[in-house]
Amino acid sequence: MSATEKPAAASGVFTLGDMEVNRMGFGAMRITGDGIWGPPKDKALAKKVLHKALDLGVNFIDTADSYGPYVSEELIAEALHPYPEGLVIGTKGGLTRSGPDRWNVDASPEHLEKALKGSLKRLKTDRIDLYQLHRFDRDVPMEETLGKLIELQEQGYINQLGLSEVDVEQCEKAREMTEFVSVQNKYNIAERKWDDVLEWCAGRNIAFLPWYPLAAGSLQNKTPGSTTPLFIKLRSPGCSIAPLI
């Protein structure tokens, strides 16, 4: 199979700032254990899945330090490092874990610096291609959270910044402080809460990365007619979308 015949390559391309990747990416959340906690039941199979994604033309992998925690990042490095040229790995910080399916927000500057440097070590890299804030923290002023990420970017630890689970108002406020290249919100055919954020991104050439795009497979039996509105949305002029699988 040639590069142009690979499914992910056939999906088209979009840009993340100075990086160009195929529109179909791979979300590495579920290569962990049940409840996104601990190691996978079959570590060898999880590593095969990562290799298969690359074989299919995927050159953008999305992960986070909280997946496991740490397990997803460690498996990516174990399976794929040294990374092939052109592979973009995005990770996230701002959530902590206390058990299976338990997620706690911590976007304090102290936590984010520790989280980022932990990700650098686990991913075996000197710079994160795309570092996304997993969540804003109601107990921490936005200026402090973004200020720390901007500082870390200026120090060379981060190439491009992104946001996750944000509304339009937060996007506008964040853009007053710094440039960011992506927004990753929960979005699929049945869950359209973030239509306005999608349109906001489309008008500014910012990548919109829908997580849970197939609702863990529950949308696979939708009729073609029911998928048409989503298809139109994803192809809105100027909008960059990377469905994560």
SS3 194: coil
**Residue 118 phi/psi, 5° resolution?**
-65, -40
Which residue do the tokens 């689970």 mark? 165
Closest CA to 207 of 93, 153, 129, 149: 129
Cβ-based neighbour number of residue 82 at 10 Å: 8
| Pair 131, 73: CB distance under 8 Å | no
Annotated catalytic residue, options 67, 131, 157, 187: 67
Phi, psi of 161 (to 5 degrees): -105, 150
Let me know: does 72 contact 39? Beta carbons within 8 Å. no
**Amino acid identity, position 25:** G
Q: Report residue 21: phi and psi, to 5°.
A: -135, 165
Decide if 234 contacts 241 (C-beta within 8 A): yes
Is the distance from CB of 198 to CB of 168 less than 8 angstroms?
A: no
Sign of the Cα torsion 149, 150, 156, 158 reads: positive
Q: At what angle are helices 195-202 and 168-177 packed, to 10 degrees?
A: 30
DSSP 81: P
Query: Is 67 marked active-site?
Result: yes
Q: Which residues are tagged catalytic?
A: 67
